[in-house]
């Protein structure tokens, strides 16, 4: 290949790269405008609300904070959460008592220190002693599973005050007879993942979407309505 040919390839690739960067920059400016507009209309909005509702695009917490800083967008220093979030946090802590404060903070897109303040202020069911290591005896586990075969992994974990993973590991390690109750356990859905999946597959029915996330159709319908995800119900059946 000649030098001229190599130069042309480099030049074309450079032009394509610049075009991509320009497109990305314009998309980011549009996202910044959407975020700023949402905050103006909802000055008391929490970070989770901004992430979920400010734009049709999927936004991570780190992206939001970077854009807020780069485009000098005013964000409330004191993040407020509504009663719905407080109720969700309480239920989450009751259902997953072994979750650490950091895990709870990540789940609700809040800072760990702010979660600590909310726990104290609203008297949330958070076990401060959960950091102490609890040993799960295989013999006790085997007896409990035999007497309560209907219990899910999480319900067993709650009983012994250990993590769900500890229960699963002990059952496998000691060959304890147990039939998984996966269908009975509550399955969480990443709302951003759901929003992105629907945007990428607008032709799919609720049934197909539910099958993809391994949940009930009612769960998908409820999430679409709750988080105001743009979706037009399909009347015709999709081909398998």
| Fold annotation for 187-240 | Arc Repressor Mutant, subunit A (1.10.10)
Residues 169-182 have pLDDT tens digits of: 899 989 999 887 65
Per residue in 113-137, pLDDT (tens digit) is 778 888 888 888 887 644 455 678 8
At a CB cut-off of 8 Å and minimum separation 6, what does 130 contact?
97, 98, 100, 161
133-184 and 187-240: identical CATH topology: yes
Domain residue spans of the chain: 3-70, 83-130, 133-184, 187-240
Give the tokens for residue 191. Answer: 């709302």
Q: Which CATH number does 83-130 carry?
A: 1.10.10
The secondary structure element, H or E, covering residue 116 is helix 112-121
d(C-alpha 209, C-alpha 121), whole Å: 39
**Which SS3 state, helix, strand or coil, does residue 1 take?**
coil
Q: Which architecture characterizes domain 133-184 according to CATH?
A: Orthogonal Bundle (1.10)
- Computed over every residue of the chain, the mean pLDDT equals 80
**Whole-prediction pTM:** 0.32
| Range name among 110-114, 144-148, 175-179, 215-219 with the lowest pLDDT average | 110-114
Q: Are 230 and 56 in contact (CB under 8 A)?
A: yes
Based on its alpha-carbon atoms, the radius of gyration of the chain, rounded to whole angstroms, reads 24
Measured CA distances, 203 to 187, 206, 216 (Å): 24, 10, 19
Q: How far apart are CA 31 and CA 19, in angstroms?
A: 18
pLDDT (0 to 100) of residue 130:
47
Upper half-sphere CA count for residue 59 (Cβ side, 13 Å): 26
- Of the pLDDT bands very low, low, confident and very high (cuts 50, 70, 90), residue 183 is very low
Give me the pLDDT at residue 133, please. Answer: 59
Q: How many CA atoms lie within 13 A of 177 on its CB side?
A: 5
């Amino acid at each position: 290949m000649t030098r001229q040919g190599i130069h042309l390839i480099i030049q074309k690739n450079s032009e394509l790269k610049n075009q991509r960067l320009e497109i990305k920059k314009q998309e980011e400016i549009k996202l910044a405008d959407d975020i700023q507009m949402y905050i103006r209309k909802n000055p008391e909005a929490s970070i989770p609300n901004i992430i979920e509702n400010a734009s049709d695009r999927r936004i991570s917490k780190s992206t939001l904070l970077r854009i807020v800083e780069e485009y000098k967008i005013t964000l409330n220093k004191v993040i407020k959460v509504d009663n719905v979030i407080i109720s969700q946090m309480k239920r989450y802590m009751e259902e997953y008592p072994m979750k650490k404060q950091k895990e709870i903070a990540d789940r609700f897109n809040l800072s760990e220190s702010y979660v600590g303040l909310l726990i104290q202020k609203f008297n949330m069911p958070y076990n401060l002693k959960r950091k102490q290591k609890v040993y799960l005896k295989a013999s006790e586990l085997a007896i409990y599973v035999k007497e309560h075969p209907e219990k899910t992994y999480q319900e067993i974990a709650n009983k012994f005050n250990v993590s769900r993973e500890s229960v699963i590991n002990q059952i496998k390690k000691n060959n304890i007879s147990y039939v998984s109750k996966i269908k009975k356990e509550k399955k969480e859905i990443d709302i951003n993942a759901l929003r992105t999946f629907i945007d990428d597959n607008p032709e799919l029915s609720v049934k197909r979407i539910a099958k993809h996330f391994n949940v009930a159709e009612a769960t998908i319908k409820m999430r679409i309505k709750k988080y105001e995800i743009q979706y037009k119900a399909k009347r015709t059946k999709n081909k398998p």
